[in-house]
């Protein structure tokens, strides 16, 4: 019988980002035997879920929220009580709020964790001295300024790329020859180089830290620090939030929490 206290992962957004979240859940769980680990149900149906950036840019009409809701509903029937979506762009209000509405209308009793809110809370909790944070993201998240509103509540200024550099980041993710969606394992050197160029651009603009605001970017840049700049990975923060909600005693200490800038 499946453990009732089960974590759900909406995979396929992109597929390797779902694997990355699952891996980070295991990595951040206190466990010395198989049985010590938490139960995870990961459903990956990439063919069913519309591209989030394409929707936000008006290139397609159907909201991905409906497909994502259907997967969450399916997982709820399998015993999932808390769900994470390893896609920053899916947290754009036009998508995320629609998922929440569907959950409410369908009486689906699961907790859907907001990765953007969790990331902002983590930044304020562990890095109180940060005042300027750069954002790397998909063009969809860039368009809606996904992180700006919530970080503003904490009096943190967000630094965005210019349109030319944003196109470079978009290509690093979406290019069908060398982008991360086309080459995930391993990620191409071109994609990594272009993303690092964007990090340096934001650093020159005054960013003290960079949010890797697309869950596929950490597949290319998996360091916590790039020289003297902090790299913040929302996927790891989401993994830790999911563990904490299920069983806080299972949550490992994390070295990033001791590199405080106070």
- The distance between the two most distant Cα atoms of the chain, rounded to a whole number of Å, is 54
CA angle 159, 51, 201 (to 5 degrees): 20
How would DSSP label each residue in 31-96? -SSGGGSPEEEEEE-GGGS--HHHHHTTS--S-HHHHHHHHHHHHHTTTEEEEE---SGGGSHHHH
Q: Does the pLDDT of residue 43 top 70, yes or no?
A: yes
- pLDDT per residue over 153-176, tens digit each? 999 999 999 999 999 999 999 999
The two structure tokens encoding residue 163:
């349109």
- pLDDT per residue over 105-155, tens digit each? 999 999 999 999 999 999 998 877 899 999 999 999 999 999 998 999 999
* Contacts (Cβ under 8 Å, ≥6 apart) of 164: none
Burial of 25 (0-12, 13-18, 19+ CB in 10 A): buried
Q: Do residues 94 and 53 touch, judged by C-beta distance below 8 A?
A: no
- pLDDT per residue over 189-219, tens digit each? 999 999 999 999 999 999 999 999 999 999 9
User: In the chain, at which residue ranges do the beta strands (DSSP E only) sit?
Assistant: 6-11, 39-44, 80-84, 111-112, 132-137, 157-159, 209-213, 225-226, 229-232
The mean per-residue pLDDT over the stretch 3-16 comes to 89
Would you place residue 3 in the very low, low, confident or very high pLDDT band (cuts 50, 70, 90)?
very low
Instruction: Give the burial string for 118-157 (b: 16+ CB within 10 Å, else e).
Output: bbbebbeebbeebeebbbbbbbbbbbbebbeebbeeeebe
Q: Does the pLDDT of residue 227 top 80, yes or no?
A: yes
Closest CA to 37 of 46, 53, 49, 25: 25
Q: Do residues 244 and 5 touch, judged by C-beta distance below 8 A?
A: no
Q: Does the pLDDT of residue 99 top 80, yes or no?
A: yes
């Amino acid at each position: 019988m499946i453990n009732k206290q089960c974590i759900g992962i909406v995979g396929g957004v992109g597929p390797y980002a779902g694997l990355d979240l699952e891996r980070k859940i295991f990595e951040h769980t206190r466990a010395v035997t198989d049985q010590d680990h938490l139960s995870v149900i990961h459903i990956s149906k990439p063919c069913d879920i519309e591209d989030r950036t394409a929707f936000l840019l008006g290139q397609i009409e159907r909201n991905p929220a409906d497909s994502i809701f259907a997967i969450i509903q399916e997982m709820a029937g399998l015993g999932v009580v808390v769900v994470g979506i390893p896609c920053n762009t899916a947290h754009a209000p036009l998508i995320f709020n629609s998922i929440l509405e569907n959950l409410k209308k369908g009486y689906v009793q699961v907790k859907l964790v907001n990765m953007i809110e969790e990331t902002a809370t983590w930044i304020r909790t562990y890095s109180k001295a940060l005042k300027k944070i750069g954002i790397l993201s998909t063009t969809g998240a860039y368009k809606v300024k996904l992180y700006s509103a919530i970080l503003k509540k904490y009096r943190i200024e967000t630094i965005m790329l210019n349109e030319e550099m944003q196109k470079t980041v978009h290509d690093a993710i979406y290019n069908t020859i060398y982008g991360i969606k086309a080459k995930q394992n391993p990620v191409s050197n071109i994609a990594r180089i272009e993303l690092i160029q964007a990090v340096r651009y934001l650093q020159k603009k005054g960013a003290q830290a960079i949010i890797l605001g697309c869950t596929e970017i950490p597949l290319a840049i998996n360091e916590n620090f790039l020289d003297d700049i902090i790299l913040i990975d929302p996927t790891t923060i989401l993994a830790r939030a999911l563990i904490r909600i299920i069983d806080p005693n299972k949550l490992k200490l994390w070295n990033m929490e001791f590199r405080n800038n106070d």
